[in-house]
């Protein structure tokens, strides 16, 4: 094992990077890694986005370079625009590779849960995570983590889990194991979770991390192209249809929303990831501070919410749509028809008029 036993001791002399995480926790994780000889699994949330896959991949590469056997198990498929992130580290799709995943999980001593704060974000994989026999470690930036891991590294002020993974790795004294591939993955997580550096970007630490990642010689223009210029024709036509035919703008409530039924998604050959980013589009309209995307699923509606300024998308979601998230980016779901969901949403808006008018 190449992980130094005393890496934590060296690092403890430096300024503490993770403000919410006690040095004792970092020390315990460091010791655990140093003593560990079994395989490690890194798990992102279900329907993983660029940050979930990017942060999981970056962490996995570092652990592999430090001498561990590491694989990522994603609860389900991840979007095609992230498929280039599968070089050095194998990614199992739990939904499609159940047996292989279960066999691997049984051999693992450590599980890292990245970019999610509640076990229910892993859908079908939930029971496998709950019954995991080894040590579970959460590394996440969503507020209000639930206690399903032995160690919780929760730092909600971070822009992305990828930014956090960088500081986590440095805190563990594993910086030497970062390489070009890990830097590309972490950059991808930061880029996608900040909407290409347009939100959650006011903390100076973000630029320190970005600067450190640049030192690995990554080609940011090429990464941008691989992620954003990698969509299907169907996805672009679905976006066009959504904006032209399905976007509803309510200027009196400074709100815009898009809803898509299962039939509409089928018509455009929807695959997971195709509606990624749609929820942000209404916010680009002058004076709009709250936007929503409603996607009809089998027996429920998936709700994504975005806001500007101090309008609390997370509180709106937890109060009405069984969800939560960040102040400006939240999600949830509700067991109603699509039509009922839209009625419920629009009927709620008058109660929030004051907050909407004073959001910015
Ligand atoms: Mn994230």
Domains, the chain, with CATH or none = 7-228 (3.90.1640.10), 233-357 (3.10.310.30)
Distance 335 CA to ligand 1 centre (A): 25
Distance 284 CA to ligand 1 centre (A): 21
Distance 49 CA to ligand 1 centre (A): 8
Give the model confidence (pLDDT) of 129-144 as tens digits.
999 999 999 999 999 9
Q: Residue 12 pLDDT > 70, yes or no?
A: no
Residue 9: per-residue pLDDT? 45
Question: How far apart, in whole angstroms, are the C-alpha atoms of residue 133 and residue 41?
Answer: 12
Distance 1 CA to ligand 1 centre (A): 30
Q: Residue 60 pLDDT > 60, yes or no?
A: yes
Q: What percent of the chain has pLDDT over 90?
A: 87
Distance 169 CA to ligand 1 centre (A): 17
Are residues 52 and 139 in contact, defined by beta-carbon separation less than 8 angstroms?
Answer: no
Average pLDDT of the segment spanning 184-204: 94
Token couple for 137: 């470690």
Mean pLDDT across the chain: 94
Residue 126: per-residue pLDDT? 97
Over its C-alpha atoms, the chain yields an Rg (Å, rounded) of 20
Average pLDDT of the segment spanning 260-277: 93
Nearest to 282 by CA among 250, 311, 310: 250
Distance 5 CA to ligand 1 centre (A): 30
Distance 319 CA to ligand 1 centre (A): 22
Distance 161 CA to ligand 1 centre (A): 5
Residue 8: per-residue pLDDT? 45
Distance 52 CA to ligand 1 centre (A): 6
Nearest to 72 by CA among 174, 8, 165: 165
Residue 7: per-residue pLDDT? 45
Distance 46 CA to ligand 1 centre (A): 12
Q: Residue 11 pLDDT > 80, yes or no?
A: no
Q: What percent of the chain has pLDDT over 70?
A: 96
List own/partner pairs for 309-318 with CB under 8 A and 24 or more apart: 309/359, 309/360, 310/355, 310/358, 310/359, 310/360, 311/352, 311/355, 311/356, 311/359, 312/355, 314/143, 316/348, 316/352
Distance 326 CA to ligand 1 centre (A): 10
Cα end-to-end span (Å), the chain: 52
Are residues 256 and 288 in contact, defined by beta-carbon separation less than 8 angstroms?
Answer: yes
pTM for the full model? 0.84
Residue 4: per-residue pLDDT? 39
Sheet holding 301-307, edge to edge: 247-250, 255-260, 290-296, 301-307, 329-334, 324-325
Distance 352 CA to ligand 1 centre (A): 27
Looking up tokens 């960040």 gives 326
Q: How confident is the model at residue 1 (pLDDT cuts 50, 70, 90)?
A: very low
Give the model confidence (pLDDT) of 270-318 as tens digits.
988 889 889 999 999 999 999 999 999 999 999 999 999 999 999 999 9
Distance 310 CA to ligand 1 centre (A): 19
Distance 280 CA to ligand 1 centre (A): 15
Distance 14 CA to ligand 1 centre (A): 27
Residue 43: per-residue pLDDT? 98
Q: Residue 64 pLDDT > 50, yes or no?
A: yes
Average pLDDT of the segment spanning 171-188: 98
Q: How confident is the model at residue 14 (pLDDT cuts 50, 70, 90)?
A: low
Distance 245 CA to ligand 1 centre (A): 30
Distance 10 CA to ligand 1 centre (A): 29
Task: Annotate 22-40 with b (16+ C-beta within 10 A) or e (fewer).
Answer: eeebbbbbbebbbebeebb
Q: Residue 329 pLDDT > 50, yes or no?
A: yes
Q: How many CB atoms lie within 10 A of CB 329?
A: 20
Q: How confident is the model at residue 191 (pLDDT cuts 50, 70, 90)?
A: very high
């Amino acid at each position: 094992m190449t992980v130094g036993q005393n890496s934590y001791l060296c690092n403890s002399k430096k300024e503490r990077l993770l403000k919410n995480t006690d040095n004792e926790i970092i020390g315990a994780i460091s010791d655990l890694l140093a003593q560990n000889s079994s395989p490690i699994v890194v798990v992102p949330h279900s329907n993983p986005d660029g940050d979930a896959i990017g942060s999981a991949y970056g962490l996995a590469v570092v652990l592999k370079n430090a001498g561990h056997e590491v694989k990522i198990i994603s609860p389900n498929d991840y979007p095609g625009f992230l498929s280039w992130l599968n070089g050095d580290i194998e990614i199992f799709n739990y939904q499609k590779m159940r047996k292989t995943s279960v066999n691997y999980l049984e051999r693992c001593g450590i599980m890292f849960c990245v970019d999610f704060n509640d076990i229910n974000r892993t859908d079908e994989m939930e029971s496998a995570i709950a019954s995991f026999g080894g040590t579970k470690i959460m590394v996440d930036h969503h507020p209000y983590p639930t206690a399903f891991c032995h160690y919780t590294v929760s730092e909600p002020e971070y822009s992305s889990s990828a930014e956090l993974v960088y500081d986590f790795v440095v805190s563990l004294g594993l910086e030497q194991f970062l390489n070009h591939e890990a830097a590309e993955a972490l950059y991808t997580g930061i880029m996608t979770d900040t909407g290409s550096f347009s939100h959650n970007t006011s903390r100076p630490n973000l630029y320190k991390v970005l600067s450190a990642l640049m030192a690995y010689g990554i080609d940011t223009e090429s990464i941008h192209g691989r992620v954003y210029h990698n969509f299907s024709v169907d996805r672009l036509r679905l976006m066009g249809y959504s904006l032209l035919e399905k976007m509803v703008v309510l200027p009196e409530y400074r709100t815009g929303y898009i809803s898509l039924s299962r039939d509409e998604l089928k018509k455009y050959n929807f695959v997971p990831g195709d509606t990624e980013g749609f929820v942000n589009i209404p916010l680009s309209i002058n004076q709009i501070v709250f936007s929503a995307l409603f996607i009809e699923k089998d027996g429920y509606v998936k709700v994504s919410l975005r806001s500007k300024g101090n309008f609390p998308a997370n509180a709106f979601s937890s109060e009405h749509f069984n969800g939560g998230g960040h102040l400006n980016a939240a999600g949830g779901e509700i067991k109603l028809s699509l039509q009922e969901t839209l009625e419920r949403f629009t009927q709620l808006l008058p109660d929030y008029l004051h907050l909407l008018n004073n959001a910015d």
